[in-house]
Structures are given as C-alpha cells and as structure tokens.
Amino acid sequence: MNLNLMKMIKTQNLTSLYPKLIKSLLVLPVMLAVQTVQADGMDSVKMFYEKTQAVRANFHQTVTDRQGRKVQEVHGTMQLKRPNKFRWDYNKPYEQQIISDGKQVWLYDTELAQVTVRDTTKALGSSPAALLAGGKAIEESFTLTNTDNKDSLDWVSAQPKNKESGFEKILLGFKDNQIQEMTLLDSFGHHTKIVFTNVEVNPSLNEKSFLFKVPKGVDVVGE
C-alpha cells in the first residue's frame, strides 16, 4: 500500500503501519513555528501565515527508502482553508482522501473500504497538515532554522520538539512567500518529497469541499 502524507492521524485504528505509511504522513506532529529571524526562509514562513488564508494546488509525491529506492509515487490535488480545513485527494493507484472540516478529520481508504475519523484537536496536533492549514501561533512544536537556498527556493528546517513525532526533520521550500515543496524525513528512514504545482493563492473555495459523507457500505472506525 501507499506511504502517502499520513503519519498524520495517530493510526492506532489502522490495520498496519508499513507499508500503510500513506496513512501516517499527513497528520503527524509537524506544525511550524513562526519566529522573528533575519533570514529569507523565516520571512517567507511568516508571510505565508500572514497573507495566505486559502490554497489550491496539484502535488506530486515521491517516497524513497533508506537505501534511496523509490517505494511510492503518486499525484493528487490539495485544498486548504484556515483554520484547519483541508482536503487531500490521492489519485490511483493509491486512491485515498484526507478531509478536515475544522472539527473532524476523515481518512478514507478506498481499497480497504474504510474511513478513520478523529477529532481535529487530537488528529492534527503539530502536523504537516496543521502546518499548512493551521494558524501562526505554533512555535511550541518546532524549532525552525534557515537552511541554504537551493533550486531558487527559500528553505526552512523544522525540527520537532516532540521526540515521538515520527519525524526527524521537515523542510519547507518557498518562492515569493508561497509553499512550493515539502520534504519529510521520518523515523523509518523514508524520505518523502512533495512538489506543489499550479498553486493558487487565496482562491474562492467551496465549503462543501471540506465536508465528508461516508459512502454506502464503508466501515467507519475512530472516536
């Protein structure tokens, strides 16, 4: 199965950890701290939170293992609206959805015909999803440092303060104060690279996009 963005939800209700890591990367502890630092990357983080209330984009995600071998490649679409509303749609062959209405998070696995649902406050924490869709008062969860600019992007490294976050490091790449790439190194040695394209800043998004209706015949697990 897929290694998607989903270390996000604490997956005690999911059937396996690997290769179901797709269910764990999107909502694992990963919220960025906004700090006042004299550097381009940190300035980009600050401006991203201050000026961006909604985003719509396509994404291309690749995951490689500790030996550098590709173990997953998937495309999809992402929408977010602050505070804490988001939708990630993963295309085939790893078709899944992660949707938050700001109160609950649903993880729909079409292959398993199963939905995992959790309260947003418990599911997000300091996660990659919360990093993008959350607010700017997040300095408690990460230590941020600037890193060398590359590929014409301003980069920031986020070091989780929670040792059990599941991540060793998260890197965020910005251009013109907008997110362009995310790189996640998890505790299993997997390297996840997410490249965003066709990024729309502050588009008008339909609120129905952040609502989830359980399909007929699908099992629901969670709180």
In this prediction, residue 101 carries a pLDDT of 92
DSSP state of 40: H
Residue 10: phi and psi, rounded to 5, are -70, 110
pLDDT value for 31 = 36
Q: Provide the whole-model pTM.
A: 0.77
Q: Rounded to an integer, what is the distance from CA 103 to the centroid of its chain?
A: 17
DSSP for 80-92 reads EETTTEEEEEEPT
Q: What is the pLDDT of residue 49?
A: 78
pLDDT at 79: 95
The answer to whether 32 and 14 have CB atoms below 8 angstroms apart is no
Neighbour tally for 23: CB within 10 Å: 29
Nearest to 182 by CA among 62, 53, 28, 82: 62
* DSSP 8-state class, residue 180: E
Helix (H, G, I), strand (E, B) or coil at 148: strand
Q: Is 93 exposed, middle or buried (0-12, 13-18, 19+ CB in 10 A)?
A: exposed
Report yes or no: 143 and 42 within 8 Å, Cβ to Cβ: no
Residue-level pLDDT at 160 = 75
For residues 28 and 106, give the distance between their C-alpha atoms in angstroms, rounded to a whole number: 14
- pLDDT tens digits for range 18-70: 444 454 455 544 333 333 333 468 888 888 878 899 999 999 999 999 999 99
Of 73, 53, 75, the C-alpha closest to 65 is 73
Complete domains list, the chain, with CATH:
20-205 (2.50.20.10)
Residue ranges in the chain modelled with pLDDT below 70: 1-40, 122-131, 134-141, 165, 223
**In whole angstroms, what is the distance from residue 58 CA to residue 169 CA?**
23
pLDDT at 9: 42
Predicted pLDDT of residue 118:
86
Question: In 3-state terms, what secondary structure has residue 121?
Answer: helix
* Cα 190 from Cα 166, distance rounded (Å): 11
**Peptide bond between residue 83 and the one before it cis (omega within 30 degrees of 0):** yes
